[in-house]
Structure 1
Amino acid sequence: MNEPIIRPIQKKDNPHIARVIRSVLIDLGVPKVGTAYEDAALDCMFETYQSNRMAYFVVEENGELIGGAGVAPLANYEGNVCELQKMYYLPQARGRGIGSAMMQNCLAKAKEFQFEKCYLETMPYMKAAQKLYERSGFSYIDGALGNTGHYSCPVHMLKDL
């Protein structure tokens, strides 16, 4: 069994990461409306993250994608803030430090892109994810920043970079 590899997304990864993200969202009972589930970008993640100051990474283990996460400028927001986006992992990836490694990777990229803050949205019952976010220096804030279209995600967090 090979160690998991975190690497930039490739075009060939599109159907696989879309399947991973939708699978995780369904498993976690996330609403299909007002969340990442309905994002058009899910089926073209490679193309979506080719723009300026955007990056998406996948976790590959034994030739299979088991998760991913990315950063991009926060939509509909005036300010130098990025958003941690689409950070989801299959059950076999959880509890192994992969999320922490991916978080370090994404935050390093956000700093390289010279963002001042990183923002995220999540669901109240995603407690393990929130613990990771807190350990990574994110704090809870009251209300959304920008307008991501994810109005069904009521937990908002922010970190100074």
Structure 2
Amino acid sequence: MITMIAAAGENNELGKDNELVWHLPHDFKRFKQLTTGHHIIMGRKTFESFPKPLPNRTHVVITRNKEYKKEGAVVVHSMAEAINLTDGDSQPFIIGGGEIYTLGLPFSDKIELTRVHGTFDADAFFPKFEKDRWQLITETRHEKDERHKYAFTFETWVKK
């Protein structure tokens, strides 16, 4: 099962200038809990936004640059190649950015989406997906509080 995992604003905003536009500790905790021990597929810019590779995950980085090499990353040049590398992983995750989510949507069976209740200035967006082809199986709302400037809802979607 291939899962896309993302946090997106009400208008599918992901971030600006290769950074998130919110800080949601519960979302970070959920991301870590779900992705630890699995392959995480991402674009080069997403990988380079990390101060260092995330622990206990295999980083699969998609780039057009045939010369690109980075310690801590398995470098590939297509989504199909990335997915082939995850053979044996029961649940690899596609973690972004916007272009990688668009490439990954047709391959995905599940979407773990944190819907951030707000609108944001952004330059990267989560792709619109046809909700009649997906079923929302769980949603858990979290109100804003002293650690979370925005309310948000954890949504789990599975392909019908």
TM-score under structure 2 normalisation? 0.36
More helix, by proportion:
1
Larger Rg: 2
**More contact order relative to length (CA 8 Å, sep ≥ 6):** 2
More strand, by proportion:
2
